[in-house]
Structure 1
Amino acid sequence: KEALKDICSQMLGGRQCTTSNLSKVLATDLANRIEMITEELEYLSSNAFRLTGPDEVLKVLQLSQKLATEHDFPSTEDGARDYFRTYEQLLHNYSPPVTVDRVNRWKQQAFSLKTEQIAGAVLQKYSDLDRKILPVQTLVDEAVAEFDKQIDLEVDRRIEYERTHN
């Protein structure tokens, strides 16, 4: 992020930025963000979901997001049971639009920016890849934040319990 800010400052200040430097900075920015997605998926698969792996976590997150935008969560216990039964059936057959393999291909595409010679092409490829990465990055970041929030709440609950019962 700092290198990206430096390049923007240079350009806004009227100083030249070489295409080589621009492509390296943008490629590194994308690669770092993709690496963070990969690490967060590993973290969630090891701690929060305890599923078969990062691909399954990514699948669950995407299906959950899809269902949240298409359906309201039921307000009754019976409705919730039906919802989760349907969710489990959908999950089994769901083909997510983004997989870990696709994320890894994005990383390869990000590194290929370093060899680009034309500034306009660098910016276009960066923008195209950024539009693909950002929704997944946001989805995974939000899941990690929610998981960490739940951990903090549980720690606070246990501290309060210990305080009042000892």
Structure 2
Amino acid sequence: MNQFFADQIDQLDLAIDQLAVRDRNFDRFALMLIDNVVELVLHQHAKDKILWGKAFESNRKPKPEWKTAVNATGQGFDAKVRYARETSMISASTADSIQYLHYFRNSAYHQGSRHEGILHSLAVFYFRAACSVLRAYKPMMYGTYSGDKISHRAVKYLGKPDLFGQKEAFERACVRLTEVAGALDENLVEDLQTDMLTTIEQTDEWLDFISENSPDRPKRAEVVLECQAWPFAWTDEGKAFALSNGCKATNVVELSNWLGHNYPWPVKVDPIGSWKKRHASLTQETDLDVALKKYCDFMRQSEAFREALDEAVSQLDGYIQQQIDEYRGK
């Protein structure tokens, strides 16, 4: 267990070096290191349950958490967080934050998302959460083995504890890592609310752009419905919904118009006013876990609409450019 703890401390110390640079590429690397530590610790927490339970395989009535422990030793990150939460290793709010932060790690790594305005603060916040997760982990036993190779990064925090001083050494290391994290500059709430406001303002501008420049000059409320209905009208799902609900449209334009007024869209009216109220709520938030939840809920709930509106803007911009080119060609 000495090697396992030392490896996690090594990664966290390396993450500190990356965060200190304050560059988005280094922040992204730090986020991956931190996320890996959290996943490994949560996995080991569940694995300990399985190993301990094997000593009682003859028990025909295993405890309810046995199944969730088995699931947590698989590849799914959600199952690991769920088990840690169920066993009170981490709080419900910490569990939610870890899930959100894991998503950011995946979007940065797998999708190339930059999250430039918020990435540094997210990574620092995740670092602190990782420290609390590592400190909350209580192995079945502590020990050393002849094959252990403790890096210089880990030695900085652990020193050279003897066999009977392992637990105390790891406790001190977790405290020290948390103290170092406190020296890292971050403004999570400020960065989240700034990014959220930028998103709202951009959406506001897009609605104006379409309303003012489309040939039929639709009102903003009409733009809200049309940008969602038009692409949906081309899908099998949209056609099936219309057919099962008595739509009599004879072409895609009529179908789009019908869907705009009859489908249960996630955004039914001009959203800017309500979005600004949500932003105001975020600016007043002092609980970092709650602030992250408010931000992530907003971005997730508005994502489909924003993507549809973005596509509508691109199509209108292409139409305008085409009209300019045709005029110049005359």
> Which bracket does the TM-score occupy, shorter chain normalised?
0.7 to 0.9
1:25 aligns to 2:194 (yes or no) = no
Equivalent residue runs for 1:1-150 within 5 Å: 3-8=117-122, 16-17=184-185, 21-48=187-214, 50-69=216-235, 70=237, 82-91=251-260, 93=262, 96-150=265-319
CA contact (8 A) 1:60 1:91 kept: yes
CA contact (8 A) 1:61 1:139 kept: yes
* Structure with greater helix share of residues: 1
Spell out, residue by residue over 1:75-101, the C-alpha distance to the aligned partner (whole angstroms, 9 max, x if none): xxxxx9533344444545556431344
Q: Which runs of no fewer than 5 residues in structure 2 stay unpaired?
A: 1-114, 128-180, 240-248
- Percent identical pairs in the alignment equals 28
State the shift of 1:38 in Å: 1.4
Q: Go from structure 1 to structure 2 and tell me whether the alpha carbon gap of 1:96 and 1:31 turns closer, same or farther (over 3 Å shift).
A: same
SS of residue paired to 2:251: helix
Please tell me the residue identity of whatever aligns with 1:111: A
CA contact (8 A) 1:7 1:22 kept: yes
Q: Go from structure 1 to structure 2 and tell me whether the alpha carbon gap of 1:149 and 1:50 turns closer, same or farther (over 3 Å shift).
A: same
Question: Aligned partners of 2:261, 2:309: CA distance in 1, in Å?
Answer: 21
Question: Aligned partners of 1:106, 1:92: CA distance in 2, in Å?
Answer: 22
In terms of Rg, which structure is larger?
2
> Counterpart in 1 of 2:13?
none
State the shift of 1:68 in Å: 2.3
Which deviates more from structure 2 when the two are superposed, residues 96-105 or residues 52-61?
96-105
Question: Aligned partners of 2:316, 2:265: CA distance in 1, in Å?
Answer: 22
SS of residue paired to 2:189: helix
State the shift of 1:37 in Å: 0.8
Q: Tell me the TM-score normalised to structure 1 length.
A: 0.73
CA contact (8 A) 2:266 2:305 kept: no
SS of residue paired to 1:99: coil
Please tell me the residue identity of whatever aligns with 1:137: R
Question: Aligned partners of 1:16, 1:38: CA distance in 2, in Å?
Answer: 35
CA contact (8 A) 2:210 2:313 kept: yes
Q: Go from structure 1 to structure 2 and tell me whether the alpha carbon gap of 1:130 and 1:83 turns closer, same or farther (over 3 Å shift).
A: closer
Q: CA RMSD in A?
A: 3.0
CA contact (8 A) 2:233 2:259 kept: no
Q: Which runs of no fewer than 5 residues in structure 1 stay unpaired?
A: 73-79
Which deviates more from structure 2 when the two are superposed, residues 43-52 or residues 108-117?
43-52
> Counterpart in 2 of 1:75?
none
CA contact (8 A) 1:28 1:110 kept: no
CA contact (8 A) 2:197 2:279 kept: yes
> Counterpart in 2 of 1:151?
320
Please tell me the residue identity of whatever aligns with 1:134: E
CA contact (8 A) 2:228 2:309 kept: no
CA contact (8 A) 2:229 2:257 kept: no
Question: Aligned partners of 2:289, 2:310: CA distance in 1, in Å?
Answer: 30
Spell out, residue by residue over 1:15-68, the C-alpha distance to the aligned partner (whole angstroms, 9 max, x if none): 5345xx311221121122112111211111111153441111111111213212
Please tell me the residue identity of whatever aligns with 2:251: D
Question: Aligned partners of 1:147, 1:30: CA distance in 2, in Å?
Answer: 25
